[in-house]
């Protein structure tokens, strides 16, 4: 009986068991690898869901407001950028980018609460 139970668990692998070493010689377990891969997937899925939710609100903005918000917050798989970087690309002042961003966010805020009522 004991031999049968050992045979069943012989192929079991623990997530905490070491599977190798990294470049610095630290032990790596399976859970370390799985967590690293899943974090990226979870972030990617969450980002896509959030972008889908707010895409209907982006339609009320004009092109410049939409460009500033998408660049500022990294929407649509774009990289997050600073107001200074956006200002340089649009050839406007950083404070004007700030005003555009604030105006766009207020438009989205009002539209969101208008639709929630």
Domains in the chain with CATH codes: 16-116 (1.10.10.10)
DSSP secondary structure letter of residue 1: -
pTM: 0.58
Does residue 104 surpass a pLDDT of 90?
A: yes
pLDDT digits (tens, 9 = 90+) for 46-83: 767 777 777 788 889 999 999 999 899 887 767 899 99
What three-state secondary structure class fits 19? strand
- If you write DSSP's letter for every residue of 28-93 in order, what string do you get? EEHHHHHHHHHHHHHHHHHHHHHHHHHHHHHTTS-HHHHHHHHHHHTGGGPPP--HHHHHHHHTS-
Residue 46 in contact with residue 35, Cβ under 8 Å?
no
pLDDT digits (tens, 9 = 90+) for 6-47: 666 666 667 677 777 777 778 887 677 766 555 566 677 776
């Amino acid at each position: 009986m004991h031999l049968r139970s050992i045979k069943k668990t012989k192929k079991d692998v623990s997530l905490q068991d070491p599977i190798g070493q990294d470049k610095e010689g630290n032990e790596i377990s399976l859970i370390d690898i799985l967590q690293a891969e899943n974090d990226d997937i979870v972030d990617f899925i969450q980002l896509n869901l959030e972008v889908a939710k707010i895409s209907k609100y982006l339609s009320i903005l004009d092109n410049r407001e939409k460009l500033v918000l998408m660049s500022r917050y990294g929407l649509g798989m774009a990289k997050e950028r600073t107001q200074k970087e956006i200002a340089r690309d649009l050839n406007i002042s950083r404070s004007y980018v700030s005003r555009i961003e604030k105006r766009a966010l207020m438009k989205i805020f009002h539209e969101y609460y208008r639709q929630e009522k």
